[in-house]
Amino acid sequence: MIDTVEKISTEAVEKTNLKIHPVGTFLIAITGLEAAGTRGSCGIVGSPSSTNQSCMAIYPTSELLTKYLYHYYVYRGDKLAFEYCQGTKQQSYTARLVRILPIDMPQTVAEQTAIATILSDMDAEIAALETKLTKTRSLRQGMMHELLTGKIRLI
């Protein structure tokens, strides 16, 4: 998904000096990491975007592909949050903590690209299968209704 329901006006950006993150920016939730619904939440910006203070942006570099970072964090995000987040009321990352997170990096961007491509392709296949499963379940539910109410007879 590369769009949201929430929008911000150009006027709001200008008046509040919001930072607009370019396409390809990696976003990570940095507060509320003790909660399973927030912990590990991350994504890649699909259109120019702004965030609130509960997110941190990491920009791609010549040595770091954010699509690789996304898959790495989906895989290791929970473990990293439990090990590195700090706070008494609400577990959070800080910029200092994010800078020291251990990230297993392939030697080349080409390898990062290959890994991210394979994992993205698998994600797309899983999404397609989930869509098919939802449709099949709906069809089954409709068929159950028809059969169990006698609208369709098998004899």
d(CA 118, CA 146) in angstroms, rounded, equals 42
CA torsion, ordered 19, 53, 48, 18, to nearest 10 deg: -30
Pick from 55, 65, 143: which is nearest to 103 by CA? 65
Residue type, 47: S
d(CA 93, CA 115) in angstroms, rounded, equals 26
| Farthest CA pair distance, the chain | 72
The domain segmentation of the chain, as residue ranges, is 1-104, 106-155
Determine if the pTM surpasses 0.85.
no
Phi, psi of 118 (to 5 degrees): -60, -45
For residues 33 and 78, the answer to whether their CB atoms sit within 8 Å is: no
Q: What is the mean pLDDT of each run of 10 residues along the chain (155 residues)?
A: 76 86 91 69 89 87 93 88 78 82 90 96 97 97 93 86
CATH code: domain 1-104 is 3.90.220.20
Residues near 66 by beta carbon (within 8 Å), at least 6 away in sequence = 24, 25, 26, 44, 58, 59, 60
Q: So what's the pLDDT on residue 24? A: 93
Q: So what's the pLDDT on residue 39? A: 65
Q: So what's the pLDDT on residue 51? A: 86
Q: So what's the pLDDT on residue 36? A: 67
